[in-house]
Amino acid sequence: MKNLVTAILMTIVTTILLGLIYPLVVTGLAQVIFPSQANGSLIRSGDGTVIGSSLIGQPFSSPGYFRSRPSAAGANGYDAGASSGSNLGPTSQKLIDRVKADVEKLQAENPGKTVPIDLVTTSGSGLDPHISPPRLSFRVPRVARERAPDRGTTETSRGEPTLQGRQFGFLGEAAVNVLELNLDLDSFYPMRK
């Protein structure tokens, strides 16, 4: 009986300590020390409306916007509640057919240019918010035609302010946050009417 009472008391104490007190303390510290990150790195418009998160990719369908990597998360892609890759292997005919179709479509959009690999492959989470500088360069002509046909293609790309270098200076590759880039474009080069 003594062991049973001890076990029940330990369960209650550890539940209160680790299930209630510890999460509240960590959440409180995070809100004080890193409030933006603790709240999901949300990006808001001038009136306070949440536009998106700098951590989660989202779809852009207008030709005047740069687009995120393809997504396999959820039934229609970009579903933050179903973050995952497609789990299709390199010999999967379904994956091969999808990539071939995407490459053909992109080559028709930009003839003669090599299609960057991250334009046709999904990330592991399906929610990668970044694109590589080569992908950015590949998309500049299309975005320029939509936003500033009289200015030329190079002036329309404002990727420098949103270019993120390698993590810690040596991990990964340089990347551009798509949402931040598109917001910069809206500020500098609004969509043509």
What pLDDT score does 193 carry? 62
Q: What is the pLDDT of residues 19-72, one digit of tens each?
A: 999 999 999 999 999 998 898 888 888 788 888 888 888 888 888 888 888 888
Query: What's CA 160's distance to the chain center, in Å?
Result: 18
Q: What is the pLDDT of residues 120-132, one digit of tens each?
A: 888 778 788 888 8
The C-alpha R_g of the chain, in whole angstroms, comes to 22
- DSSP labels for 92-147? -HHHHHHHHHHHHHHHHHSTTSPPPGGGTS--SSS---EE-HHHHHHHHHHHHHHH
pTM of the model: 0.73
* pLDDT classification of 16: cutoffs 50, 70, 90: very high
What pLDDT score does 28 carry? 96
Number of H helices, E strands in the chain: 7, 5
What pLDDT score does 158 carry? 44
Q: What is the pLDDT of residues 139-182, one digit of tens each?
A: 888 888 887 666 544 444 444 446 677 777 777 778 888 888 88
- Percentage of the residues of the chain whose pLDDT score is greater than 70: 91
Cα dihedral 152, 154, 158, 164 in deg (nearest 10): 160
- Bigger pLDDT: 5 vs 187: 5
